[in-house]
Amino acid sequence: MFDESLIVTTAISSFNNAALYSPFFFVVGLFCIPLFIMTYIYGHDFVSKIGWKNNEIETKVGFLSVASLFIWLLIFGGNYAVIRDSISLLPFGIATILFVSGILLANGIKQFNYVTKIQNKKLKWLLILVALLIVISAALPNWWGILLQLCAVLGGLVIGNKINKNIPGVLTSTLIFGLMMILILMQPEYFRFGQLGNLTIMHILALLCAGFFFVTSLVTKYVKARSKIYDSAYIKLKWLFRIMSILAFILFVLTESVPVFIGLMVCCGFVEMLTIYHGNKKLESLAKQSWAILLITVGLIIVCPLISALGIIYLSTMTDKIDFKDFIKLL
């Protein structure tokens, strides 16, 4: 009753519960607004100062965004000992992201000659040793977590180094961030995003925003306008998928279910595909804007402002002025 350690334990437990239930990512995002404004204003000057060419910005932003997520996932990802279910797909999902990210990073390092620019051999081996220690320590205290992450990282780096063709950074990063949002929804408390079943409206809106721009960036980039579908069929199909999207949205808000979230994104994707396929206008600008906003949203959700800053830099240098009416027209 008079044990002081109980008071400290209770205080820590209360703090952890408050952190899980409250939209911490949103508060951090508010504090980062001045940084984001400065990044948007001086993003073009920053890119020119460091010597990035216009044809390299997209590739390097994709590379650095995946590298940031890779490091964040290793250092701040969590601890496998706190996984809620005894049989969980979460560790394998994380290993998949690390594996694919490792492929892109090794390919990008070879493409940009980052290793050859370091002349000191001792510094190279020191960097490799530090990287291995980070990979090993990130999964402690679970031996199987260490083995899983180490194999995923090393396997990805080896395969990426063997690939001679340049891997498209935009597509790879988009798929990685999409999978990341699914994993966060699968067990939010693992990523310090919230408590499943108790997500606030800010948590839900953030996930929906990331999911929408994930789908939009893929659809607007890879679906071509054909203007070949009949108007009557177009209207009926579009209203069918609209109704399915609305029902999936309501069900997702009520259940916060991963399959419902995926179904909602698929329905939204079909609505956008019909809109683009029925039209006769290319939407390259929307594709770039969607990818940039996806980076910004993901950076806010996982509390990694660097990813958001990269998205803002790409938004300010490589895209036109955003008109959200164009996004609304897709639906």
Model confidence over 65-107: pLDDT tens digits? 998 898 888 877 666 766 766 677 888 888 889 888 888 888 8
Model confidence over 190-213: pLDDT tens digits? 888 888 778 888 899 999 999 999
Among residues 211, 90, 67, 204, the alpha carbon closest in space to that of 142 is found at 90
Residue 8 binned pLDDT confidence (cut-offs 50, 70, 90): very low
Q: Is residue 43 part of a domain?
A: yes
Q: Is residue 243 part of a domain?
A: no
Grouping H, G, I as helix, E, B as strand and the rest as coil, residue 262 is helix
Mean pLDDT of 126-141: 63
Model confidence over 279-292: pLDDT tens digits? 767 677 788 888 89
Q: Is residue 325 part of a domain?
A: yes
Name the H helices within the chain: 4-21, 24-31, 33-49, 54-76, 90-112, 121-138, 143-162, 169-186, 201-222, 231-255, 258-278, 284-301, 305-318, 324-330
Q: Is residue 36 part of a domain?
A: yes
Mean pLDDT of 130-152: 68
Q: Is residue 19 part of a domain?
A: no
Among residues 203, 182, 174, 196, the alpha carbon closest in space to that of 262 is found at 182
Alpha carbons 21 and 192: distance in angstroms, whole number: 10
Domain count for the chain: 1
Alpha carbons 317 and 315: distance in angstroms, whole number: 6
Q: Is residue 166 part of a domain?
A: yes
User: Model pTM?
Assistant: 0.85
Residue 281 token pair: 């206008």
Domain limits for position 91: 24-224+282-330
Q: Is residue 260 part of a domain?
A: no
pLDDT(58) > 80: yes
Q: Is residue 277 part of a domain?
A: no
Give the chain's mean pLDDT. 80
